[in-house]
Amino acid sequence: MFDQVCLSRGGNRIFDGLSLELRERRIGLVGDNGSGKSTLLRLANGLLSPEHGEVIVNGHRTTRAGREPHADVGFVFQNPDHQIIFPTVGEEVAFGLIESGRTAAQARQAASDLMADHGCAEWIDHAIHDLSEGQKQLVCILAILATEPKIVLLDEPFSSLDLPTRLSLSARLARLPQQIVMASHDLDLLNDFDRVIWLEKGEVRADGTPSQVLPEYRAHAAARGALMLESGAA
């Protein structure tokens, strides 16, 4: 829950009294670059703290709960290379389990079981740098899922992937039991979500079902694109 959240970054006001409750199982965030989508996700994960107001995740205030919100929330970055820290797939997926107290052997077995569930058990000893971008992104998602968070936040996770890979990973996410909050410019991936929030300059411009919000946002994007083209032509 975001309660009257205010935040500035680089001297610019991003949110000025933002209030939202995020209860649905699948929530999409749309908006132009700089609208506040990534900042909202980082506030929800405790990576940023509000200057005023409160962000409450599963009953914990992110500014007061220490590591507790991180146990409940998993965050998947847009670029997998910004998230991956280990040379092999098995080490990457097992890391969070070791951090939570399991032995290396227990963590490797749990990582292997999870990867088997997702059809990639044979990757466990593969070098990360040998994987495709889509495979790297799946590894990042599995590394988050291994710790069994209640909420998974995704910041444009499919932006660098081809269409078949995006569709495959989207189908995997749809089967997850966790709550998903995903920022995306690929509007088609949000068609089956429960709710879509359109942010514009740190404010909620529209909030509703995909069928309500996405056509309106598409029209806005088309109109803005036409203006940009006209301005460029001039």
What 3-state DSSP class applies to 13? strand
For residue 70, what pLDDT is reported? 59
46-71 pLDDT, tens digit per residue, is: 889 999 999 998 878 887 544 444 56
Local confidence pLDDT in tens for the 234 residues of the chain: 999 999 998 889 999 999 999 999 999 999 999 999 999 999 998 889 999 999 998 878 887 544 444 568 999 988 899 899 999 999 999 999 999 899 999 999 999 999 998 889 999 999 999 999 889 988 999 999 999 899 999 999 887 778 887 888 888 888 889 999 999 998 998 999 999 999 999 999 999 999 999 999 999 999 988 877 777 644
Counting Cα atoms < 13 Å in the Cβ hemisphere of 135 gives: 16
| DSSP result, 34-48 | TSSHHHHHHHHTTSS
Q: How far is CA 135 from the centre of its chain?
A: 17
- Cross-strand partners of 192: none
Residue 43 phi/psi, 5-degree rounding, is -65, -40
pTM of the model: 0.88
Sequence-ordered alpha helix ranges (H) in 12-103: 37-44, 68-72, 89-99
For the chain, how many residues are written? Answer: 234
Q: Which residue, among 169, 87, 95, has the nearest Cα to 135 in the 3D structure?
A: 169
Query: From CA 94, how far away is CA 131, in angstroms rounded?
Result: 17
What domains sit in the chain, N to C, each tagged with a CATH number?
A: 2-233 (3.40.50.300)
Torsion of CA 199, 84, 79, 201, to 10 degrees: 20
